[in-house]
Structure 1
């Protein structure tokens, strides 16, 4: 089911990832929603943070090494997070962000090799 949700968002994610202004707008929305949201699981926070920073680093040109497929998947995952229409509505206390966390975990799993390389680059940069 998660894979289907990502595939549904893929065309929109591709369009967003090809436009810097739209990518910036998505990142801004995601940051704002994250500040207001309480993930029920720590892994949801970690996955969101990793994907957010990865897209931001790619967008700025600081880390241009992500394959196009990975950028689209990251964008789709973050897009799902900010989209108000979810499998489980976000306003349901305690469980509303479980579907968001599942989508983000799916994206992390799908592009784990690329994210591992990004994390290594990020850790060595400091």
Structure 2
């Protein structure tokens, strides 16, 4: 089974996850192995394997992912102190699940993380 299936099951609510936000474009939920007090994953509801698959047709999804990440950062009260938004791409870039996803990290000083 491809490892991206877990994200598809979270989107469809077939797997229990702490979903913080969902609309027709993205789903945002808490990472089950957090690297910071706030560690949220934001994923597109449409399967995109890696950042390399961003194209003219789907490029608006990335902008929406960033917008939602910023809104969650404000809601979690980490926007003033600061946070990181990370997208890993492929094995050498640290991508573990073959499904485009964005990490929103905050709540501590993050200079040593990622």
TM-score calculated relative to the size of structure 2: 0.31
**Structure number having the greater strand percentage:** 2
- Bigger RCO of structures 1 and 2 (CA < 8 A, at least 6 apart): 1
Structure 1 length normalisation: TM-score?
Answer: 0.29
